[in-house]
Amino acid sequence: MEKLTNKEEEIMHILWRLEKAFVKDVLAEIKNDKPHYNTLSTIIRNLEEKGYLAYNAYGKTHQYYPIIKKEDYRKRFMSMAINNYFNNSYKNMVSFFAKEEKISVDELKEIIALIEKKD
């Protein structure tokens, strides 16, 4: 699975939410920094070439849909982030968020309870 640019990732989030869309539908969903229609069309074609999207052709227009599940991308992205930024240690990742006060003690307790419940 090839790494996505920030803009490609933004487009994929839109397509995961919409499930199927024409370029004009995706363009309508972009809130800030709307690209030109042709630029967006190129980005979407790049996503198709990278194997993230497929399409149904209706004459000269295409309706795109994701063929990579959001969950599969999330797993890959998180694995790369943990490997690159936390020395492949989930403990380092959790302690980072605790030190940055992005996760509370109560939330950590909930996570522990979920882990213990799974066993």
Q: Which amino acid belongs to residue 12?
A: M
- Tell me the mean pLDDT per 10 residues along the chain, length 119: 90 97 97 93 97 96 97 91 91 88 87 84
Contact indicator for 62, 55 with CB cutoff of 8 Å: yes
Residue pair 43/11 in contact (Cβ under 8 Å)? The answer is: yes
* In CATH, 6-66 is 1.10.10.10: yes
pTM: 0.79
Q: Are 32 and 25 in contact (CB under 8 A)?
A: no
Q: Which of 38, 39, 50 is nearest to 12 (CA)?
A: 50
Domain ranges of the chain: 6-66, 70-118
